[in-house]
Amino acid sequence: MSKRKISRREYLKYAAAGVIVAAGAIGGYAAWQSTRKPLEKDEIIIGVLAPMATRQGSVQRDAAALAIEEINAAGGILGVPVKMVVGDDKLDPDAAVSEFRRLVTVENADVLTGGYSSGIMAATMEPMAELKTVFLADASSPAHPAKVAEDYEKYKYWFRITQNNGASFAFDMADMIDMLREKGVPVDKIYIIRDEHVWADDVEKFFNPLLTERNVEVVKNVKIPRGYTEYEPLIIEAHDLGAQVILPIVALSGTGDVLAKHWATLKLPVLLAGHDLAALDLGFWEKTEGACNYYIFIADGGVVQTAPPTAMCANFIENYKYKYGNPPEAHQGYGAYDAVYLYKMVIEEATKAGEANPLDSDTVVKYLEKTATLENPVELTRNIAFYPPGDENKWDHDLAWGDKYVRNLISEWIDGKWYEIWPEDKANAELKLPPWFK
């Protein structure tokens, strides 16, 4: 076979053609790149997993839906539309675990928000770790951040966004005692009524030294089981023992309404002031037929609906009312709304920094840690910051507590409305004592 020689002219011709093709290809690629979305996805999927038969669960679904609707109306996250998928944990750990798996593996959720019960949260942290899925969560037990602290690589995907660590109630209740004393209420003897549950032990671990510092005597500490209703004998006993304050630390007993009713019926000169999850219900006044008047309590989650702490919070409440006909039914709504916006912010930050895969869970964790810091909290409906890994209290990835961040506000039911009465600079009402308290 004879070889044909390529002439110089032919060589230049082919070379020129090659350059033109290559230039075309590069130009085409550049043009494609300019129209391509920065995220390699057709949609970003946010999962909401919560007990949907409760207002604490359904409010998370509705608040996340509102945030997603707003984000999509403004062009999505970097041009990619956001979709919501919902799971119901039915307040059952088995259901919660299987729903978590379904949302991630079947519905392809990129991130999850939700939760409510601490026990169920502990269970769902396992599939979260296994599936390496970021979970912007609710619940209040100190056990959850402790897991992150003890095995960071495994549990680092967990961040608590809805409310503070339950142990922080101790700080707020100590402030409550200081506030009462400042307002002229002599608090030196208190009667504690608390859940027979480990979460109240965690609160007391921090609370007892604060009481000792303040020379406050606990005349009796009564542990009550779930569903307990016989409060009248306890209230009478508190009065007989000389307590000025009955201090509830209750959530799981679920009968704070009965406590308020019995207290209002007896009208003994003893205040009712503490933490009671039942009181954090916009319908509490109606449900107790007004018996909760003058009930002083800690508002979890950093928002009292009548005194929104940020402009975004005020907008959220208004938009929620417009869409659903009423304000957010529980404080978990603020957490879910913030979770969606914070996730958007983090994805945008990661993309801007040139991360290869901004949606990757490890990348999201890195940017959550970098974005919502103690030094620079993110203003959403509240000021969100997370404790960094290696926190001295083992509150790693927990929602930061304090005036600069989120704290459980001291509030009171007064004449049919739920008001914030402390800290003073944010309060929208003055403490009002019951007329029978002298």
Partner 1 sequence: MIELLMRILVYGATLSGIYALIASGFTLIFGVSRIMNFAHGAFFILGAYFGIALIHGIGLNPYLSTIISILMVGLLAAAMYKSIISPVREHEVMVIIVTLAFALIVEQVILLTFGEHGISFPSVIEGVVIVGTVLIPSMRLFVLAVAIIALIMLWTFIGKTRLGKEITAASQDAEAAMLIGLDVGRLLIVTVFISAILAALGGVLYAQVYAANPFIILKSLIFAFAIVILGGLGSVKGSIIASFIVGYILTAMIVLYGARWSELVALLIIIAILVLRPAGLLGAKEL
**What residue ranges bind partner 1 (CB under 8 A)?**
53-55, 196, 222-225, 227-230, 232-234, 236-237, 254-255, 257-258, 261-262, 265-268, 278, 281, 283-284, 286-289, 291
Which residues are within 8 A (CB) of 8 and not within 5 positions of it... i.e. 6 or more apart? none
- Among residues 255 and 332, whose Cβ is nearest to partner 1? 255
Angstrom CA distances, 202 to 89, 152, 243, stand at 25, 22, 23
Minimum distance between the CB of residue 125 and partner 1, rounded to whole angstroms? Answer: 24
Burial class (CB in 10 A: 0-12, 13-18, 19+), 406: buried
Pick between residue 203 and residue 264 the one whose CB is nearest to partner 1.
264
Cβ proximity to partner 1: between 234 and 307 the closer is: 234
Nearer to partner 1 by Cβ, of 329 and 391: the residue is 329
Closest distance between partner 1 and the C-beta of residue 228, in Å? 6
Nearer to partner 1, 266 or 312 (CB): 266
Give the chain's count of helices (H) and strands (E): 14, 14
DSSP class of 138: -
Q: Which is nearer to partner 1, 230 or 403 (CB)?
A: 230
Shortest Å distance, C-beta 142 to partner 1: 23
Report in angstroms how near the CB of residue 246 gets to partner 1 at its nearest.
13
Of 168 and 244, which CB lies nearer to partner 1 in the complex structure?
Answer: 244
The Cα–Cα gap between 57 and 19 comes to 62
Closer CB to partner 1, 77 or 299, in the complex: 299
Nearer to partner 1, 229 or 293 (CB): 229
The DSSP-derived string for 71-129 is HHHTTTBTTB-EEEEEEE-TT-HHHHHHHHHIIIIIS--SEEEE---HHHHHHHHHHHH
Instruction: Tell me how far, at minimum, the Cβ of 239 lies from partner 1, in Å.
Output: 9
Strand partners, 250: 276
* Min separation Cβ 371 and partner 1, Å: 35
Q: Least distance in Å: CB of 399 to partner 1? A: 24
Task: Give me the least distance between CB of 193 and partner 1, in Å please.
Answer: 8
Residues 6+ apart with CB under 8 A from 118: 139, 140, 141, 143, 144, 166, 199
Q: Shortest approach of partner 1 to residue 235 CB, angstroms? A: 9
Cα–Cα nearest to 339, from 283, 282, 378: 378
Nearest to 112 by CA among 406, 361, 385: 361
Q: Could you tell me the two tokens for 437?
A: 């308290």
Spell out the long-range contacts of 133-136 with Cβ–Cβ below 8 A and sequence spacing 24 or more: 133/100, 133/104, 133/109, 133/157, 133/361, 134/159, 134/343, 134/361, 134/364, 134/365, 134/368, 135/111, 135/159, 136/111, 136/112, 136/161, 136/335, 136/339, 136/342, 136/343
